[in-house]
Amino acid sequence: MPEPGKATSIELFCDLDKAIGIKPRDPDKYYNRGLVRLAKADLDGAIADYKAVETNPRSAVTYANRGLVYLLQGKIADANRDFERCLTMDASLKSLIEKNRNAVKQQQGRVLPAL
C-alpha cells in the first residue's frame, strides 16, 4: 500500500495519460510518462514516449534516458547515438550517462564500448 499522499505508478500513469490528452504537444508530459514506464520496466512504452524528443530536440536529459532504455534493450548503437547527442547538448550529464552505463553493465554482465 502506498504511503499517504503518494501516488502509485498506475495513478501517475493515468494522470499523465489525461494530461497528454489535454496537451498532446507537450513533450514534458511524454518525458514524465516515459519515466513511469521505465520504472515499470515497460521499455517499449518508454521508447515510444521518449520519441517526444523529436518535438523538443533540445532536451538533453531525454536523450540520456532514451539511451538508457536502448541499453537495457541491448541496442548499443542506438544508445550511444543518443548519449553522444545528449553530451553535445549538455556535457555536464556525462557522469549520469556513465553511471547508467555502469549499472546496465553490472546488471546484464555486458561489455559496453566507450563513448
Highest average pLDDT, of 77-81, 99-103, 110-114, comes from 77-81
Per-residue pLDDT at 67? 92
pLDDT at residue 2 is higher than 50: no
- For residue range 43-97, list pLDDT tens digits in order: 999 999 988 767 777 789 889 999 999 998 989 899 999 999 999 999 999 999 9
3-state SS class at 114: coil
Protein fold of 9-108: 1.25.40
**Longest CA pairwise span in the chain (Å):** 44
The domain ranges of the chain are 9-108
Grid cell at residue 97: 550517462
What average pLDDT does the segment 6-31 reach? 83
